[in-house]
Amino acid sequence: MKCGVVIDTNVLISALRSKRGASYRLLMGIGQGHFDINISVPLALEYEKSAKKIIDEIKLSSEDIDDVLDYICSIARPWKIFYLWRPFLKDPKDDMVLELAVASKSDFIVTYNKKDFEGAGHFGVKVVTANEFLKKIGGLQ
């Protein structure tokens, strides 16, 4: 059975910065049938804002970033978030990720800021790094 995930913005940005490491392998695994990625409009906009902010630091053009984000949005399961119970976490952007994970019944939030999601377990969501997630699903080639 495939698991559902929400990928935090910091994991996407890490994958855009480097082709090395778990974040990039995770990004390349989107749409290969190993897991279902979930997205909301606010998270997609956050992805875009953060990715375009680092455009001068990476080897991708604005159009390349648009293509990556378009692909993610075409593969991901879209969710509208109707129930907002903020604030639950310290950062409203993290609340947005947690709300999506809860609404989509995701199994995992993949992030490099695990401590920012303390309490997510109350909703049945496991918080893991990209490397931890890849190990849980048996890795990706």
φ and ψ at residue 42, rounded to 5 degrees:
-60, -40
Q: From the CB of residue 56, how many other CB atoms can be counted at a distance below 10 Å?
A: 5
Q: What is the per-residue pLDDT for 100?
A: 94
Query: Which pLDDT value is given to residue 36?
Result: 96
Report the distance separating Cα 42 and Cα 61, nearest Å: 22
User: Could you tell me if 39 and 100 are in contact, meaning their C-beta atoms sit under 8 angstroms apart?
Assistant: yes
* Domain limits, the chain: 3-136
**Which residues of the chain are under the pLDDT cut of 70?**
1, 83-92, 140-141
pLDDT at residue 39, as a whole number: 98
Q: According to the model, what pLDDT value does residue 32 have?
A: 92
Q: What is the pTM of this model?
A: 0.91
Superfamily for domain range 3-136: 5'-nuclease (3.40.50.1010)
CA within 13 Å, CB half, 139 = 2
Strands of the chain, DSSP E: 3-7, 35-39, 77-78, 108-110, 126-128
Query: What is the C-alpha separation between 110 and 19, in angstroms, rounded?
Result: 18
Element (H, E) at 99: helix 92-103
Distances (CA, A) of 51 to 17, 70, 105: 9, 13, 26
